[in-house]
Amino acid sequence: MAYNRKSPPSNRLYKEEKEDFSVQTPVELFCQNQTSVDNTSTRMTSSASVIDQIWTDIIVVDSVGAVEQGTKSMQSQLQAGWTTDQASQRREQDGSFNVVKPPIDCPNWLCILLPCINHLASMKAFKAIQPDDAEVLRNSKWIRYDAASLVTGDVIRLEEGDLVPADCVVISVEDDDDLLVDLAAVTGHDRPKSISNSAATRSKRQLYMGGRVVQGRATAMVTAVGPQTMLATLIRENRFPPKEPILEVSMDGSGESGIPLESMS
């Protein structure tokens, strides 16, 4: 059953059942219910807990460095994804839709009157990396789904040409070749990030909203949405588009070279 929303964009797909957003779109709800910086920090901490759970339960590194699948409960999650009701509950915990506030947040009527706003470098860069939809596992079925409605813990599939729809950690790479993801628009690193099934730290498997898959296929799990993503943090700190490479800080302390992102460390 399609969502009944006011004037939904024609390129957005809404296939989830039992969720009725007939009054307001995710963007309208997001703008109306903007949280304080303190609340955002609290939810970022909650997102870190999600990362810890994923890493503990799904990715287990044994003494020889092999990566194995984890507990039965998380195995079930990988095979079935969230149910509709579980996703609704998770969205309440997330506190927002998977929508990032743009670098210049102006009312639609003002953007129409001043179209030059949309042509500023930061706005052009922002619009170029906004995902429309994602392939997500819900109710044991893979569906194309509105990216704005993703929640933490969603199991998603990435393939060549896709924009990464939310911050996520790669669970498995499906092809023999490594997964290559261009994260330059978010991290400032020129070289695509390479991820293989042998990657043994979270930082080596972490991807960010706005990256673009340039090679391979993979399954990943969403670890942060909307205001809790790295992209949103960069925008809040006036560091988007990045002028220098950003250090990817993992919750286990490992990272890559670059300028630290203080709010994510």
pLDDT digit string, tens, across residues 110-144: 655 565 655 578 888 999 999 999 999 999 999 99
pLDDT digit string, tens, across residues 90-99: 999 999 999 9
Residue 114 lies in a domain: no
CATH classification at residue 250: 2.70.150.10
pLDDT digit string, tens, across residues 157-194: 999 999 999 999 999 999 888 999 999 999 999 999 99
Residue 144 lies in a domain: yes
Q: Is the dihedral of CA 229, 233, 234, 238 positive or negative?
A: positive
Residue 91 lies in a domain: yes
Q: Enter the tokens of residue 129.
A: 């990396």
Partner residues linked to 206 by β-bridges: 169
Q: What's the domain range around 55?
A: 35-101+133-264
Residue 108 lies in a domain: no
Report the length, in residues, of the chain: 265
pLDDT value, residue 156: 98
Partner residues linked to 246 by β-bridges: 259
pLDDT digit string, tens, across residues 192-215: 999 999 887 888 999 999 999 999
Q: Contact at 8 Å (CB) between 229 and 167?
A: yes
Residue 18 lies in a domain: no
Q: What are phi and psi of 182, to 5 degrees?
A: -80, 110
- pLDDT exceeds 50 at position 225: yes
Total count of domains within the chain: 1
- Within 8 A by CB and 6+ apart from 184, the residues are 190
Which is nearest to 153 in space by CA: 16, 264, 53, 40?
53
- Percent of the residues in the chain that have a pLDDT greater than 90, as a whole number: 46
pLDDT digit string, tens, across residues 58-80: 554 333 344 455 555 667 778 89
- Within 8 A by CB and 6+ apart from 26, the residues are 97, 98, 99, 146, 148, 149
End-to-end Cα spacing for the chain: 41
Residue 74 lies in a domain: yes
Residue 119 lies in a domain: no
- The alpha carbon of residue 178 and the mean position of all alpha carbons in its chain are separated, in whole angstroms, by 20
Residue 192 lies in a domain: yes
The pLDDT-based confidence of 33 (bands split at 50, 70, 90) is very low
pLDDT value, residue 218: 97
